[in-house]
């Protein structure tokens, strides 16, 4: 797994801030379910950040997010950025193609744009490189390990 320590250093600057963490993904499609998996793991840790498992319909949570007026929004999703399976990378919204092929009703970038139209918020996409996203498959060992590592780091930051 190619997780860079720099990712966690980048996230640690959010310590103590009002943050909402949104997991996006389809749990029926292998590694695409990594966003909801991270949410599930974080809920067990009792962290200060609010956690939303948005599944494949993040647009259903726009109003809830904007009412909470967070300083930061972390969106966790399986993103194919051509790295080794399980690699974690942080993207800013403008780095994502608006027409990214996705299992979600709304592209992640458009979701971020809709949220930021209603309020000032710093948005970060945390992408985990999937190994496979076939229907009926389980999360791969690489993606599961990345989810665990990310969950532990976020739990430490938002304790």
Task: Count how many domains the chain has.
Answer: 1
Q: Looking at the domain assignment, is residue 28 inside a domain?
A: no
Q: How many other β-carbons are positioned within 10 Å of the β-carbon of residue 9?
A: 10
Q: Looking at the domain assignment, is residue 102 inside a domain?
A: no
State both tokens at 146.
């990345």
Residue appearing with tokens 């790295």: 83
Whole domain around residue 112: which residue ranges?
Answer: 40-69+107-135
Q: Looking at the domain assignment, is residue 144 inside a domain?
A: no
Q: Looking at the domain assignment, is residue 3 inside a domain?
A: no
Identify the H or E element spanning 76. Answer: strand 72-78
Q: Integer distance in angstroms from the first to the last C-alpha of the chain?
A: 25
In our burial notation (b when 16+ CB lie closer than 10 A, e otherwise), range 72-101 reads bbbbbbbbeeebebbbbbbbebeebeeeee
Q: What is the pLDDT along the chain (159 residues), one digit of tens a residue?
A: 445 677 788 889 999 999 999 999 999 999 999 999 999 999 987 898 999 999 999 999 999 999 999 999 999 999 888 899 999 999 877 777 643 445 555 677 788 888 989 899 999 999 999 999 999 999 999 999 999 999 999 999 998
State both tokens at 158.
């938002």
User: Under a CB-based contact definition with an 8 Å cutoff, are residues 151 and 23 in contact?
Assistant: no
Q: Looking at the domain assignment, is residue 125 inside a domain?
A: yes
DSSP alpha helices (H): ranges in the chain? 5-12, 34-45, 62-68, 108-118, 141-157
Q: Looking at the domain assignment, is residue 15 inside a domain?
A: no
């Amino acid at each position: 797994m190619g997780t860079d320590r720099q990712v966690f250093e980048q996230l640690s600057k959010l310590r103590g801030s009002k943050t909402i963490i949104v997991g996006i993904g389809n749990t029926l499609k292998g590694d695409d379910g990594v966003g909801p998996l991270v949410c599930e793991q974080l809920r067990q840790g009792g962290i200060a950040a609010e956690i939303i498992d948005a599944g494949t319909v993040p647009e259903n949570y726009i109003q809830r997010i904007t009412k909470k007026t967070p300083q930061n929004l972390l969106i966790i999703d399986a993103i194919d950025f051509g790295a080794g399976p399980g690699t974690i990378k942080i993207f800013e919204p403008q780095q994502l193609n608006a027409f990214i092929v996705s299992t979600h009703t709304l592209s992640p970038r458009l979701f971020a744009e809709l949220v930021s139209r209603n309020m000032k918020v710093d948005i970060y996409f945390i992408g985990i490189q999937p190994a496979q996203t076939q229907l009926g498959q389980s999360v791969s060992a690489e993606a599961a390990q990345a989810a665990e590592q990310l969950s532990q780091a976020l739990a430490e930051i938002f304790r």
